[in-house]
Amino acid sequence: MQEPLKRLARRVKRQQQGKKPPQILLVNKYIHAGMTPEEAHIAAQRQLGNVTLAREEIHQMSSILWLEGLFQDLRYALRQLRSGPAFAAVVVSTGRLTHAGDGIVKRRCRVARESDEWLV
């Protein structure tokens, strides 16, 4: 849990340090090559494509959006359970019974396997 948060903090710190985006570097390169600023800007956009879309994709790939979505889903589930206490009791008891039943079946299978009853 701490590692993704550290990566997120490092990414934010890098963004705040003012690193130049690739588009600015290309524009400067084209201007030094003799283009006008407008031509250089258009050429850089043409070469890089949609910079905002690429930046959003990189953010989604490198962030912990799955964790944010999980917390959002949990908050929604808790709100729904709080709004109907009788339904919440049924959900919780069903979950407990299912968990207990699963444990009983696994235990029975393990005992049967150890005593070679499952071969019959």
pLDDT of residue 120: 52
When divided into structural domains, the chain yields a total of 2
**What is the residue range of 81's domain?**
67-119
Domain termination residue (choose one: 27, 45, 63) = 63
- Give the Cα separation of 17 and 11 in Å (integer): 10
Judge if 25 and 59 occupy the same domain.
yes
pLDDT of residue 16: 60
pLDDT digit string, tens, across residues 68-86: 888 999 999 889 888 988 9
Domain termination residue (choose one: 26, 46, 63) = 63
Judge if 48 and 75 occupy the same domain.
no
Q: Is the dihedral of CA 98, 102, 103, 108 positive or negative?
A: positive
pLDDT digit string, tens, across residues 91-102: 889 999 999 999
- The pTM score is 0.34
Judge if 87 and 57 occupy the same domain.
no
- Give the Cα separation of 5 and 59 in Å (integer): 14
Judge if 44 and 76 occupy the same domain.
no
Whether 23 and 51 have beta carbons less than 8 Å apart is answered as yes
pLDDT digit string, tens, across residues 6-37: 776 777 676 666 556 777 788 888 888 998 88
